[in-house]
Amino acid sequence: MKKFEKHEEYLEAIKEGKSVLLFSADWCPDCRVIEPFLPELEKEYSEMDFYYVDRDDHIELCQEMDIFGIPSFVAFKDGEETGRFVSKMRKSKEEIEEFLTSVK
């Protein structure tokens, strides 16, 4: 999973193709729960580019996109948002797969 260092990288990443942003943080226990199966999901949904967005490093982007609970997922196609799975609740692998299939 690629990681953003600068805000401009976010703008470039979502510009073309299908992208999924995962908003997360190292200290988040619910984020750590989903971490083990993320590589499998990346492989299964290989037509999408996955990006890790550290909530603490990119708080302005989170505010701009109304992301207040983590982990949260936002999908884009050619620069347009196609869906989001945003909540404060722990997410299961099945719920994430359902979301990814819906934005495929």
Tell me the catalytic residues.
Answer: 28, 31
The pLDDT of residue 72 is: 94
Output the six-digit token pair for 44.
Answer: 């299964």
Q: For the chain, what is the domain count?
A: 1
The pLDDT of residue 103 is: 95
CATH number for the domain spanning 45: value is 3.40.30.10
φ, ψ for residue 83 (rounded to 5)? 170, 165
Q: Which of 5-9, 31-35, 42-46, 57-61 has the lowest mean pLDDT?
A: 5-9
What is residue 94's three-state secondary structure? helix
- Residue 51's domain spans which residues? 2-103
